[in-house]
Chain A
Amino acid sequence: GENVEQHPSTLSVQEGDSAVIKCTYSDSASNYFPWYKQELGKRPQLIIDIRSNVGEKKDQRIAVTLNKTAKHFSLHITETQPEDSAVYFCAASRYNNNDMRFGAGTRLTVKP
């Protein structure tokens, strides 16, 4: 089955700096890669996702890149703000949510 590794487990940046979180996956047939953000005491929420037919997707300050050959994908947050502080989870799935596997999460702290 799929195995997703996520690094780093914690990340601290200064407000305005960029943050990068990286994930690797094991199943070459995986084709859907979402990222979820979970603020303290709240539910995980989807912030961006990418499918295997594209290499990059951007939404304002957030971007995700995918390298299918190397089986890794990354989340990039630019111009970080204190409200970006949360735990971020990557995930990988083959074709439906039955087999979606999550990474262990990255706790991002943005210091003002």
Chain B
Amino acid sequence: ETGVTQTPRHLVMGMTNKKSLKCEQHLGHNAMYWYKQSAKKPLELMFVYSLEERVENNSVPSRFSPECPNSSHLFLHLHTLQPEDSALYLCASSHRGLAGSTGELFFGEGSRLTVL
């Protein structure tokens, strides 16, 4: 399969559960991202892994924990979430040059998370 693949596409979990979202990119990119998409709000950047560097949005709660074992795989570990965390979580990848130049973001189709 080509492009950016996310699993699961849909996830329902209770507030005490632990689950993980998975993202895989087959584009040879060297940067991967997690975005949160809530209704009528801007796409919110949560985490970036790029050229061995991790960047995070300081407003993201610690109940979200990213993991990037290699340049093709990205995980988002979820623990003791709240109902307001229900949203579409989008993974993206891009190519970044050594100078940090901006590249097109290629998004996955998202994981729709519902927290009960």
Give chain A's interface residues, CB within 8 Å of chain B: 4, 6, 9, 32, 34, 36, 42-46, 49, 89, 91, 93, 95-98, 100-105
Contact = CB atoms under 8 A, between A and B. Distances in A.
Interface residues of B, number: 25
A46 B55 contact: no
Contacts, number: 62
Contacts of A43: 4, 90, 107-110
A6 to B, nearest CB: 8
Contacts of A36: 105
Nearest to A94: B102
Interface stretch (B11-19, B40-48, B68-76): B40-48
B31 A97 contact: yes
Given A98-B48, A98-B50, A104 B42 contact: yes
Interface of B: 4, 31, 33, 40-45, 48, 50, 55, 90, 94, 96, 100-105, 107-110
Nearest to B44: A102
A4 B41 CA distance: 11
A42 B75 CA distance: 20
Contacts of B33: 97
B101 A103 contact: no
